[in-house]
Each structure stands twice: as C-alpha cells, then as structure tokens.
Structure 1
Amino acid sequence: MAGGFKRVLKITALLLCMLLLLAAAAGGWGWMRYQRFIDAPAFGTDAAASVQVASGDGFATVLRKLRQAGADAGHDLEWRLLATQMDAAGKLKVGEYALEPGMSPRVLLQRMRDGKVIHYRFTLVEGWNMRQVRAALAVADPLEHRTSGLDDAALMSTLGHPGQHPEGRFLPETYLYQRGDSDLDVLRRAHAAMEQALAQAWEARAADTPLTSPEQALILASIVEKETGQAHERAQIAGVFSRRLRKGMLLQTDPTVIYGIGSAYDGNIRRHHLTTDTPYNTYTRAGLPPTPIAMPGRAALNAAVNPADGDALFFVSRNDGSHIFSATYAEHNAAVDCYQRRRNCPADIAERGAAAGDRQ
C-alpha cells in the first residue's frame, strides 16, 4: 500500500515538473514573442497615412482605430501590456499621428503618449492684404474653415477685437497647426504675434520719429512693405516718408492709391486714379491713410520707426526691384527720365543706379 502511494507521488511530481517546464517554455516563448512585437513593424504596406485620436477615446477605441488603419502586428493583449508598461494607457493625447512604414508599436505609443502630432504649415506672406489672407486660408487643408461667412467687422468681433480694421493686423510668419484647428485659431495667433511685434518695434523707436502712435507705425510699415522688396531699402524708403511727414508734404505713394481702388485695380495705375480722391489717395490727401494697406513684416515695422538718415525726398523704381533716391525734384525728374521714360540718363544718375545695384 505504501509502495503504491509512493509511486503516485512520484508520478504526480513528474507531471508537475513537466507542467512547470511546459509553462516555463510557453512563458519564454510568449516573452520572446512580446519582445519581437514591441520593436517589429506595426503596419503593413497598405496602412493608412495617419490615425486620429479624438477627445474621449479610450485605449480600446484607439486600438480599434489602429487596427482599421492597418495595424496587423501583435495581439490586443500585447498592445495593452505595452501601453501599461509604458504608462501610456489612458494618457494618449488628442490629435493626428503619422503612421510611418516600419514604425514599431513602442515608437507609436510613445508618440501618442507624448503628443507628437502631425503639424501642418500656413504661411502668411509679407505684403499680403486681407483679401489675399482670406483666399489663402480658404484653401488651406486640413484647416477647418469658419470665417468664410464672416465679413471683416464680424471677423474681428469674433477674434475679440470689435471695431478694429483687419488690414495689417496679422504678422507675416509661418504658423504650425494640427488637424482640428480652424482658420480662427491661426488668425488669433497671428494677431497676437503682430501686437507683440508692433509693441517691440514701438518701444525701440527713434526719438525723432514723426509718428505719434503704434497705429501710425503700423500704417507706415505697411506702405514701406509694399514699396520695396529689397531688405536694404526699407529704412531708406521709411526715411523718405518720415521726412515728407515732417515737412507736411504729400506722401504720393502708389500702393495706397492701388489699395483705395480695391478689386477694380487691373494692374495698371492711370492718371485719373491719381486725381480721384479716396481716403487712401496720398496724392490728394495729406498724411498717412486711415488704415494699413497690407501685412508688414518685422523688418518693415523696425524700418518705419527707425528710418535711415539722409536728405532724400523722392525715389523712383529702376525696374529691377530697387530704387533711385533723390533730394530735389530736379534730380528726381532726371531719374524718372532715365529709368521710366527711357530718355536721357546723365552720368550722375547712372552712377547712383550702379551704386544701388552694388548694394543688392
């Protein structure tokens, strides 16, 4: 009887050892499989380009979206174990995430935990007017469009600046946004950036500036922005206009006239445009126009409040993006004859033109 009991104990012990060995082998195999899963490619070649984590999505919902997007690696339990191990479960940030070829589950969950979402770019170009800004926003994708039904007054009211004219109020820069952001979000950031840039420029203004407010600085900067694309000329252009303002001379700048024409402008400015009075016609009205005429960049803002010294009161285009500056009307007429009317080009005018070309 005792011998039989011993045999049963031996068999039982043997079976337990075998079960333990099998469990250890299965555990080892499972651990090796899990380790391979962590750093193996999570997606096949036909995976979607991105996946969106929405507000309120739990891990089960996110995992389902990943499966639908083409994540064929691993068992759901392995994804859950990895998320728990990485302290990512319940901490995945809202946003759109790129699903790159060869991306592993570890890298993907790390990005979702850390909120490394896809960012898109919207560039507001120096010198654009508000119509151009709106047109560019209207085709920006995947930006949500919420301003299309708003006129300028409603737009500024929605942005929190009722009564403010929108022209010139948005700083030309490249702004990053993510899926789910709207054109209002971008404009709010651009408006805040312009307010900051304008305040900084005004704080650093020259002591003898004829401008009396940041608003005037913004208006003059917008004119400088439209008058030249040459960086080295901005301060010179601002200098001409500052001296004209001090002397009470008309600014006589074509970009303001063109702005006053509006959408009727066909690319040519004619004599009747210069003589037809509008609030923006600086040939018929003294001082600065009532609002900016474009979106000035930081360089134009700084030039407007820190104009170059000199005696020039006139400038004319050399038809290559640069200008000839003159102190007297006679010199200016000679420069106009040389570069606009293609008549006589005296040696001193040619020399000034060559010197301007050397600075480019």
Structure 2
Amino acid sequence: MKQSAKRKILIAVAMAIAAVSLAVIALFCWAHMPVFGQGKPIDFEIAPGATVKSVTTQLAKQDVPLNETMFIMLVRLTGNSTALRAGPYELKAGETPARLLEKITKGIFAMESLTIIEGWNFRQMRQAVARHPALKHETAGLSERELLKKLGIDHRAGEGLFFPDTYLFRRGAEDMQIYRQAHEAMMMRLNALWEERDPALPYKTPYEALVMASIIEKETAHPGDRDMISGVFANRLKIGMKLQTDPTVIYGMGERYKGKIRKIDLRTDTPYNTYTRYGLPPTPIALPGGESLEAAFYPAETDALYFVARGDGTSHFSRSLDEHNRAVDKYIR
C-alpha cells in the first residue's frame, strides 16, 4: 500500500475518533446543563412497560423541554435502556438531563407529604386525608367502623390509634396507605413502651395507657408539665378519685361544645364526663404525640392530686384541696 493511502486511512480514522470524541463531549456537556433554568417544577409520569423511545415521547407530551435524540443517546450510552421505572416524577428548575435519568432509573418518585397534628381528633385526621389532592381517595365513603375493619383494627373507635407525624407518599397513592403507616407507627411506640412499663402503673392494658396519653395531650402544650399531669392522674386512679379533667367533658359534648364549659355541662353525664364517672373514659380523646405517650408511661413521682392553669401555658400543682382552691383563686378567680 502506498504511503499516501496509509496516510489517508490514518487521517480518516483520526477524524472519526475526533468526531466521536466531540460527540461524547457534547453529550456530556448537554447532560450536565439544566433542562430549564427557572420556573415551577414540571410534573410528569412514566407509564409501565415504557421503552426508551416511548419515554421520550411521554416526556414531550408532558411538556418536558428535552432534546429527544440526545436523551436517547444518553440512556443507551449509560446502559440504562432496560432500567427505566414507571411512576410519577418531578423535574425542578436547574436539574439536568443526567439528574432526570437518575430519577427515572432509580425510581426517585415525586413525593407528597401529609402532616397529622398532635392533639387532633380522628375526625380531623380523616378530613385532612380526604382533602389532600395528591391522594387516591378510596376511604371517603367508609364509615369509621368500616375503615377500622379494612385496617384490621379490633377497636370500635379510631380515636388515638394513629400517630401524629408527617408522612411521605408517592403522588397518586391510596389514602389507606396513610392510615396504615400512622397506625403502625402508633402501635410500634405504644407496644415498646408497654413492654418496658413499671408494673406499678395504674393501667391494665396498653389501650388504657393510650387513653391517658390522649388526656395529657389535651391538658397541656407545655412539655415540662406533661409528666407532672401524668403523675396527678396516676395518683387519682390509684386512690379511686375521679379524674375531673375538662378535655374529656368537651370530647363527650361533641358538637354541643361552643368554646366554653358551663356548670350544667360538668353535671351532665356522658361516657366521657370524668366529673360524673370514675376511671378512664372508654376511648382516647385525641391523637397523642410522642411526648404525651412517654409521659403516660413515666409519670413524675409526686404527691400532687390537683393542678390549675396559670394562664401562661404552665400549671400550678397542689397536694391538698385547700392549696388547690387558693391557686384557683389566684390564677382563675
């Protein structure tokens, strides 16, 4: 072969290598540049069984401003052609094609959140779940009993059985997922505390401790008072004294409560009126948080039998009725 022919072949090979190198460099640069620089996130969804080509088509139809040819090359060159996962996703301003591919191959789905507030009752929790636009609502038409049955919960009321927290879920998830997560979270905490309990506690079952935790939750928002309030109620239960706690009366009044308790309300008997009945009410009265659960199982060692709100979020504790009446005169009357 003539020297000139060899030279031409070498030049052609070199040019081909250079072209490929330039293409790879261009693809690398493109893959690490933002798909779009500013604006709201773009929500999109990949259908099950999608191929590389159909994924790019789906992205285009859902207004993801992506170069389809470059994205197909990126997917194939990275060996991810069979790793694309179906599901809901979100592309934020400033994110790159490489990040988009990472999300789709690792299943980094668009996540939503729902916060259940400590002290809410179960009705308020159900309202929050029913209002969330990103959930698939399958329990809205169920009665409370029907919902509990589907969850496998052997209680007549859902009150207190769900842990207040922030729960993450995939967009379009069934609302039953929230109830399952919240119930499992509550049972895990409650059962762990029950296993380590002091045998001297005045509870026969974990459920009774949960009832107490819910009362503590509604009695105070001051962290420093929870264990003392728990100590007062534990002392009352041990000596057979009525709990006489307003939040249970309010819960028993239901829609009749208009923001104020009257003397007639304290005298009107309901299953939750702890001024007319001894012991704990039949169910929790709210969704207790972690601190109230801890307080129920670890009450303060105290001789106090009474307490009254000071008006600043804290409470004054008394050992005798005379001392309590003086505190009531000072802080209430």
List alignment gaps of at least 5 residues for structure 2: none
Q: Does 1:255 pair with 2:255? A: no
SS of equivalent to 2:88: strand
Residue of structure 2 equivalent to 1:57: 50
Aligned-partner residue type, residue 42 of structure 2: A
Instruction: Provide the residue aligned with 1:91 in structure 2.
Output: 83
Cα distance 1:106–1:203, how it changes in 2: closer, same or farther (>3 A)?
same
Instruction: Indicate if the aligned counterparts of 1:53 and 1:94 stay in contact, CA closer than 8 A.
Output: yes
- Structure 1 or 2, whichever has the larger Rg, is 1
Change (3 A) 1:13 1:246: closer
What is the alpha-carbon distance in structure 1 between the residues aligned to residue 228 and residue 130 of structure 2? 36
Cα shift at 1:174: 1.3
CA separation in 2, counterparts of 1:14 and 1:298? 79
Name the SS of the counterpart of 1:182 in structure 2: coil
1:122 corresponding residue in structure 2: 114
- Stretch moving more, 38-47 or 183-192: 38-47
Q: AA paired with 2:301?
A: D
How far did 1:125 drift?
1.1
Does 2:283 correspond to 1:301?
no
Inter-partner Cα distance in structure 1 for 2:119 and 2:82 = 46
Of 274, 277, 281 in structure 1, the residue corresponding to residue 269 of structure 2 is 277
Which sections of structure 1, spanning at least 5 residues, go unmatched? Answer: 1-5, 342-360
Q: How does 1:184-195 map to 2 (within 5 A)?
A: 184-195=176-187
- Structure 1 residue 81 displacement after superposition: 2.9
Of 151, 161, 183 in structure 1, the residue corresponding to residue 153 of structure 2 is 161
* Amino acid of the structure 1 residue aligned with 2:293: L
Are the aligned partners of 1:44 and 1:71 in contact in 2 as well (CA < 8 Å)? Answer: no
Residue type of the alignment partner of 2:266: L
Give SS of 1:315's match: strand
CA RMSD of aligned residues (A): 2.5
SS of the aligned residue for 2:89 comes to strand
Partners of 1:298 and 1:220 lie apart in 2 by 13
Contact 2:138 / 2:174 at 8 angstroms: preserved in 1? yes
Match of 1:207 in 2: 199
Offset, 1:89:
2.0
Tell me which amino acid in the other structure corresponds to 2:54. Answer: T
CA drift of 1:302 comes to: 1.4
Instruction: Give 1:70 shift.
Output: 3.8
2:71 aligned to which of 79, 87, 90: 79
CA gap 1:182/1:17 in 2 versus in 1, 3 angstroms: same
Looking at structure 2, the residues matched to 46 and 314 of structure 1 have their Cα atoms a distance apart, in angstroms, of: 58
Matched residue pairs, number?
333
Q: Deviation digits for residues 301-339 of structure 1, max 9, x if unmatched?
A: 111122111111111111222111111111111111111
TM-score, length basis structure 2: 0.91
Identity of aligned residues (%): 41
Aligned in 2, Cα 1:208/1:57: closer, same or farther, shift over 3 Å?
A: same
